[in-house]
Amino acid sequence: MTSSSDDARSTFKFLTRLLIPASVLACASVLAAVAYGNDDRSPRFVEKIPNGYRDWKLVSVAREDAPLDDIRAILGNDIAIKAYREGRLPFPDGAIIARLAWGFEASEENNQTFGRTQSYVAGAPKNGVQFMIKDSRKYAATGGWGYGHFNEGKSADATVLQTCFACHQAIESRDFVFTKYSH
Ligand code: HEC
């Protein structure tokens, strides 16, 4: 017959057999998260320019005064455009919004034809290309959107990318997206 202290001892043994591997696993996954940067609490940024973005559909346009001084187009991939047209919020995973910008320039050629100063057109690309990619798991730390900024194909530093979500938080009510769809 086993005594109650024997029972307690075997229960303890059983628990330690269970808990030691469990805590080793937990430590290992924390270490892996730190090593590979997949801890959902730390921000992740978009590291690659999405394919084919220049062929996406137009959401809207905007003009920024100095110091940015540009004219810009906001484009969406098919998933983003569909959500915009259906008025669906939040945007579903897979939605990508791109912001392109160019110098804002008076067109002498066009003005000559019109006979007065009235034409402004897009000049050379300016102020980089920006992206917001929706992946609610991967980018959980920044409202489900990953932010990317590329100057001539090269990603901006993390110090720049850290400012994106901080400001876009102001428009949380529209899933962090300022631009409205222009019909
Ligand atoms: C100081 C605030 C601020 C910061 C910082 C900021 N944005 Fe924005 N962003 C805006 C506003 C406001 C708009 C709409 C501007 C307009 O159309 O005139 C916008 C528009 C956008 C758009 C088009 C979709 C939308 O939300 O309208 C993208 C994409 C975007 N920003 C990406 C970024 C990225 C990437 C960064 C960081 C590198 C960034 N933004 C930093 C305020 C900010």
Record the pTM.
0.83
Give the nearest ligand 1 atom to 156 CA: 38
| Residue where the block lists tokens 């008076």 | 106
Quickly tell me which residue has 């992946």 as its tokens. Answer: 135
Q: Per-residue pLDDT tens for 140-182?
A: 999 999 999 999 999 999 999 999 999 999 999 999 999 999 9
Cα 182 versus chain centre, distance? 22
Mutate to test the pocket of ligand 1, among 48, 132, 168 (most ligand atoms within 8 A of CB): 168
Confidence category of residue 9, pLDDT binned at 50, 70, 90: low
pLDDT of residue 42: 82
Mean residue pLDDT across the chain: 87
User: Is the per-residue pLDDT at 98 higher than 90?
Assistant: yes
Residues in Cβ contact with 118 at an 8 Å cutoff, skipping those fewer than 6 apart? 110, 111
Closest atom, ligand 1, to C-alpha of 179: 27
DSSP string, 126-154: -S-EEEEEE-TTTTGGGTTEEEEEEETTE
Please indicate whether residue 56 or residue 9 has the higher confidence score (pLDDT).
Answer: 56
Tens digit of each residue's pLDDT (9 = 90 or more) over 75-89: 999 999 999 999 999
Structure tokens at 7: 């029972």
Phi, psi of 119 (to 5 degrees): -105, 125
